[in-house]
Structure 1
């Protein structure tokens, strides 16, 4: 059993594990998507709606904490813990309303609201404890976010012969553990626990900084692609399993692997950033995932095994730049408004995930692999926005 003396000695480990546990709430419903469709008659469009509802809740929550200054007025560890507890309870409550798509979407929206107190605040906690190597540390954090988002597929694989409710309840339990861990850890000494009274729309002031603005625009292009790709993974994996005439029971396991490969991608990118700089690493990762957006449909008739390997490469690259954008933004945002600036950047970025998720989930049945071309504008515009950022970005 973890002793409390462990917490301050290894803050990075505590924060990233808590991030893994807390963000298991994010795609908890997607992990049981096929079983939920069979049990309550949801369509692919309904699953897309539930995913969008989480994103909309997250956006609303980040806007709330950014515009009110709550992210910098309240201790980050306390806000993280409260959000994790509420998210766990609401995620469990989804089970009781799953048959009503309106109530189900409302529950997922509320879960997204709670996630707004977990992900951006996790970034602030990382910076408060390990500011000198933010790119590498945030690589671990975003890697654990990726693993957290993949975890519902793993939980479903482990409970395949059990009712669909079990993975959701396990995700809620993990979120409760995350709350305890971060509450006991507290906030590091490199940022103030509080930053005064805050003011409305404080996070927007960071956009006056040219380098912050470039990093944020690159991040926005990354966001357009990322969550839509993750929403597509079960469909893409299922397609290749059908071509292989293999059991559909492998789908949650392979979906987990594809998304979870983002963890080593983030860690590798974080280590590389200490030599090459965060801007260069983010550029290469975004270029790689953008190339896959373009090429994947063109290669769709090739071996299913090759397509699955390309999905693995995509899983590595699609998230590897995220922590580096966050590190760049953290380095150029006003320290006293860091929480609000990151929350505002997250809110705008995640706002862009809604139309991209809606497009790919709605068009999958008619366009199949060609829907990945709808993701391509994100990487392209993000790469254009990043021009010149290398000359203004510190090394992590």
Structure 2
């Protein structure tokens, strides 16, 4: 299988496999109305996915699953599990402990899809890894956006959205058997968890991880709640039903536009450096977080435009943090280090996703949105050693 075909299949699997991520976030208002549960339970349904991902990623990194085993089998098992636990929402009371447990299980399953997919992607090349991982993150982003599209098409009714996400995950499980590994794929015959210490002892890996944490402070809080925030803001100018429908479409477009920019950002990163591209994206996304707060409740066209620009800026840097790890780490443990990086980032999102609606309830959505800009500011600061390095001596592996 040629590189281009192999990557197309990988992107298809990731789009389908990540579709259940926001399967409840996209239809929370409908689920909450039918199930009669409040904001706290709503936040747990979303944050539970983040928590599950962290648990799954830590287990995966500790056992070296992405490096010791065939990542295609890991992805197939994870996608099948997610199809089942997503469909399980039909069998439990909405907003119940059982429903939250199913979302936690889904989060753990995503840890068996995204990190192994990164391992497969970087195995296809050394010189254009920024582009390859950017392509993959674009697929992840598009998959994450799909429930919002399902919600818009289904009138925000929760059952069609959950069913569509479950079916998509089944397609991902089937597609995993069609994946192929690249010529640079490295598999570890044995694995030592002590290699994870490189996350803190290697300056380049530490800097990339710090930048990633700043990026993640903002990303999933924005993705998870921008639909709800937009609905409240739009409702100041539009009838409630129309505001909800437009908010669902706005959320889908905001996430999907970001997906389209991940691969071009990767190409640029391979030419001028991964750290400068990441810092530039964080500067843009932090600025747009503040702009969204300032435009909240204003003219709908203006609020929607700012949100779309924010969505375009918030994700293109994500791939480059993983690519930095792949460049700096020994090939046989790169998968586990990328998994640990994502575990730390998603651990942070448990707090930000849970705190965002609470802060919105206390202080209003404009303040909650503005506080998301803290992450990009800290991320740029963490990347400063890498920025100085790139300005002094560009990474020869980053030159196409």
Q: What TM bracket, shorter-length normalisation? A: over 0.9
Structure 1 residue 130: Cα displacement: 3.2
**Cα separation, 1, equivalents of 2:98 and 2:194:** 31
Q: Say what the alpha-carbon RMSD is for the aligned residues.
A: 1.9
2:296 pairs with 1:300: yes
CA contact (8 A) 2:19 2:169 kept: yes
Matches of residues 233-312 of structure 1 in structure 2 within 5 Å? 233-246=226-239, 247=242, 248-300=244-296, 302-312=298-308
Q: Is the 8 A contact 2:48 2:100 kept in 1?
A: yes
SS of structure 2 residue aligned to 1:21: helix
Q: Does 1:386 align with 2:380?
A: no
Aligned-partner Cα distance in 1 for 2:128–2:324: 11
For 2:261 and 2:155, how far apart are their aligned partners in 1?
28
Question: After alignment, is 202-211 or 79-88 more displaced?
Answer: 202-211
- Superposition deviation, residue 166 in structure 1: 1.9
Q: Give runs of aligned pairs for residues 192-231 of structure 1, distance below 5 A.
A: 192=186, 194-231=187-224
Going from structure 1 to structure 2, the CA distance change for 1:98 and 1:22 (only over 3 Å counts) comes to farther
What is the count of residue pairs matched by the alignment? 389
2:343 equivalent to 1:332: no
**Mapping for residues 13-32 of structure 1, pairs under 5 Å:** 13-32=8-27
CA contact (8 A) 1:69 1:202 kept: no
> What displacement does 1:291 show?
1.7
| Residue aligned with 1:107, SS | helix
Q: C-alpha deviations, 1:246-270, integer Å up to 9, x for none?
A: 4133332222112211112213312
Find 2:338's aligned residue among 342, 346, 352. 342
Report the Cα distance in structure 2 between the residues aligned to 1:327 and 1:67, rounded to whole angstroms: 20
Gapped runs of 5+ residues in structure 1?
none
* Correspondence 1:183-198 to 2 at 5 A: 183-192=177-186, 194-198=187-191
Comparing 330-339 with 57-66, which one deviates more in the overlay?
A: 330-339
Query: Is 2:370 aligned against 1:368?
Result: no
Unaligned runs of 5+ residues in structure 2 are: none
- Range moving further from structure 2, 278-287 or 384-393: 384-393
Superposition misfits of 4+ residues, deviation over 6 angstroms: none
In 2, Cα distance between equivalents of 1:353 and 1:43: 21
In structure 1, the partner of 2:170 is 176
Rounded Cα–Cα distance in structure 2 between residues aligned with 1:375 and 1:345: 20
